[in-house]
A and B are shown apart, each in its own frame.
Chain A
């Protein structure tokens, strides 16, 4: 099954960045601070490194099988039946991830902005919007991501820069020697926030130069991890570790406390939420797209469009499973941690077996690369 190779390096990077930066931005600081107090920035860095590790595994796999998505090449590596179990797990996990993204989005909106709107309405509006967008092909998919990227990054950086007026650097110390740091658990939960980047396995077959995947991944982690790190630093310097632990959405509080100079805007949360809705949309768009794309790959279908609305009710029901906001977050953390088995351990096993069994399908491309350096 040949897909047209038209996703450029920049587009691939943009897709990864805007997929990673998503709904988790709001609760990221509190997750990091709960695990490591003032060591939160270091913890975030470690989390980003774990994410980079998982991406480089996926990039290495992608280099070996440049024309196939993970659903297809896992069958070559493991044999079709075992691989199909893995693929079903991937599809289920990303369906769940999409559902929880939509749910988390709904919780924030209903608690802080639209307090009279029913949760179901905000969730379903977001899901319908995503399902409609998912009827596009891969090319449009990457264009949409590239288009929204500046709108996610620029205001995010602006808010961090402006908020630092109330910063107290003493809050960042000690960097590592904190009393009860749960470094391993903490950095894994942070790495779980980067899991959307798994969709790189879907992009690689559409890239004209799959060998450059690793560079795209590296750049994506630098940008998204850098923004995450800045947000954590800003939150911890401004609130202090202990206060951050009391906030469900510290990043939102940060925006609420920050004002544009000269009282142009007295609080930036409206601007921030507008940005954030975009970021949530791009993340949801990616995970939803990945779900239906993988499902159609698994069922050997040519086109994924038929699934975009077919899956909607299932994802909506999944999103409605948690009973309240605290439940939702317990769900998200647990699912995220178990997800690491699918997004890191499974590809690692695939890679090792592929190396042992000397499976690779990139001969054609390598010869091609040698001909035209």
Chain B
């Protein structure tokens, strides 16, 4: 009997021991207050040699082959726990800023981030990183290294946006628009809305990375500029050669670029002179449809673009005659098409000069003419050479469907 009770005791002890692991917490538990959520990062080149500000953290003096590039400066926007308003603001809590803006320097992005971590008590967390602003100077030197860090870090989302700033990136980060309490959220909302309004092609980090990996395509990024009222404007589209920014398209050119890419939602408007009159109308694209085909002609590949845009007339200038005259809409649309074709030719010539195929024509040749691609091109470098001499046939048509609520 004694032996039996002893055994049952042992069983209970054993069962309790099995339950022990359940009592332990999660190994990776971090409380939300003890995490420094980074919402945005701005990356600049350090102007005057500020090396003295760099702490000896990731390397001691002269112990590693220093990158040739200048130091970079990062400016990070960190959310202050408890001050991020959820929903509409209530009352007068406006005095406390919801974000804390800090900056450090480093040789590479991770070096700078390590330096930043050294200066901050809580663990930096990148899961909520929405916007990475890169100054045009940094972008011209190349963003490959920055992206290497961002790709490796499992917290960074592919749906974040990388934006080029015209001028200092930290200025964009420090601007405080009135529509949102958190500047980076405003910026990311601005980019998402620009996509919805047809102002900019969808181009979040994941798409940018995909485009830069593709053999027959070069990536592009939006360019923003801080304006007078602390607002930011999408002031262009930066196109790349590999990981280096080589040029910028103007905002209206973005519209035509989107037409070439065949992005349906149209959002730009352009003044078009009315044929035979000293006046012009403002036409606004409503929707675009594009067919890109790659054909062989005389042993060389050729791209054929068939672009059709539906436009509305939204405004006419003072001296314009009535739009009611039969045929006039047709003349205007022909004029619009002619202008559009010219502009697109200019954009293509400009990007060809810089060997930057942001349209992805090379991808069409790789996909549709695989035999030619496999024998003559094969690599990204060869495609860049070929793209310079690529012939592009543009067929642009416009239809005016609506003129608004006014007759005449």
Contact with B along A225-250 (1 / 0, CB 8 A): 00000000000001110110110000
Minimum distance in angstroms from A4 CB to a CB of chain B: 31
Any chain A CB within 8 A of the CB of B107? no
Any chain B CB within 8 A of the CB of A72? no
Q: Which of A166-174, A283-291, A296-304 lies at the interface?
A: A166-174
Interface residues on B, range: 20 to 34
Any chain B CB within 8 A of the CB of A111? yes
Contact with B along A141-179 (1 / 0, CB 8 A): 000000000000000000000000010001111100111
Q: Which residues of B contact A174 (CB under 8 A)?
A: 366-368, 370
Contact A116 B209 (CB under 8 A): no
Residue of A whose beta carbon sits closest to that of B27? A117
Contact B27 A267 (CB under 8 A): no
Residue of A whose beta carbon sits closest to that of B154? A112
Q: How far is the CA of A181 from the CA of B312 in the complex (A)?
A: 49
Number of A-B contacts (CB under 8 A): 73
- Count A-side interface residues using an 8 Å CB cutoff: 32
Any chain A CB within 8 A of the CB of B371? yes
Contact A173 B209 (CB under 8 A): no
Given A112-B154, A115-B28; A257-B373 close (CB under 8 Å): no
Q: Which residues of A contact B26 (CB under 8 A)?
A: 114
Any chain B CB within 8 A of the CB of A218? no
Contact with A along B302-327 (1 / 0, CB 8 A): 00000000000000000000000000
Contact B28 A242 (CB under 8 A): no
Q: Which of B214, B368, B370 contacts A243 (CB 8 A)?
A: B214
Contact A115 B154 (CB under 8 A): yes
Residue of B whose beta carbon sits closest to that of A117? B27
Q: How far is the CA of A115 from the CA of B158 in the complex (A)?
A: 19
Q: Which of B158, B366, B378 contacts A256 (CB 8 A)?
A: B158
Minimum distance in angstroms from A167 CB to a CB of chain B: 11
Q: Which residues of A contact B210 (CB under 8 A)?
A: 238-240, 243
Given A111-B154, A267-B157; A242-B214 close (CB under 8 Å): yes
Any chain B CB within 8 A of the CB of A253? yes
Any chain B CB within 8 A of the CB of A133? no
Q: How far is the CA of A150 from the CA of B297 in the complex (A)?
A: 53
Given A242-B214, A242-B215, A243-B210; A179-B28 close (CB under 8 Å): no
Minimum distance in angstroms from B377 CB to a CB of chain A: 9
Residue of A whose beta carbon sits closest to that of B364? A170
Any chain A CB within 8 A of the CB of B151? yes
Q: Which of A121, A177, A179, A256 contacts B27 (CB 8 A)?
A: A121
Q: How far is the CA of A12 from the CA of B154 in the complex (A)?
A: 38
Q: How far is the CA of A177 from the CA of B378 in the complex (A)?
A: 12
Q: Which residues of A contact B371 (CB under 8 A)?
A: 177
Q: How far is the CA of A117 from the CA of B25 in the complex (A)?
A: 11
Residue of B whose beta carbon sits closest to that of A121? B27
Q: Which residues of B contact A74 (CB under 8 A)?
A: none
Residue of A whose beta carbon sits closest to that of B128? A266
Minimum distance in angstroms from B76 CB to a CB of chain A: 20
Q: How far is the CA of A116 from the CA of B206 in the complex (A)?
A: 26
In this complex, the member of B26, B202, B360, B367 whose beta carbon has the largest number of chain A beta carbons within 10 angstroms is B367
Contact with A along B341-381 (1 / 0, CB 8 A): 00000000000000000001001101110110110001000
Q: Which of B151, B158, B215 contacts A246 (CB 8 A)?
A: B151
Q: How far is the CA of A111 from the CA of B366 in the complex (A)?
A: 35
Q: How far is the CA of A217 from the CA of B249 in the complex (A)?
A: 57
Given A114-B27, A116-B27, A179-B378; A166-B370 close (CB under 8 Å): no
Residue of A whose beta carbon sits closest to that of B367? A173
Sampled A-B contacts (5; CB under 8 Å): A115-B28, A121-B27, A170-B367, A238-B210, A246-B213
- Please name 9 further chain A to chain B contacts, defined as beta carbons within 8 Å, in addition to the given A171-B363, A256-B158, sorted by A numbering: A113-B28, A116-B28, A171-B367, A240-B363, A243-B213, A246-B209, A253-B206, A257-B159, A259-B159
**B residues touching A (Cβ–Cβ < 8 Å)?**
26-28, 151, 154, 157-159, 202, 206-207, 209-210, 213-215, 360, 363-364, 366-368, 370-371, 373-374, 378
**A residues touching B (Cβ–Cβ < 8 Å)?**
38, 111-118, 121, 166, 170-174, 177-179, 238-240, 242-243, 245-246, 253, 256-257, 259, 266-267
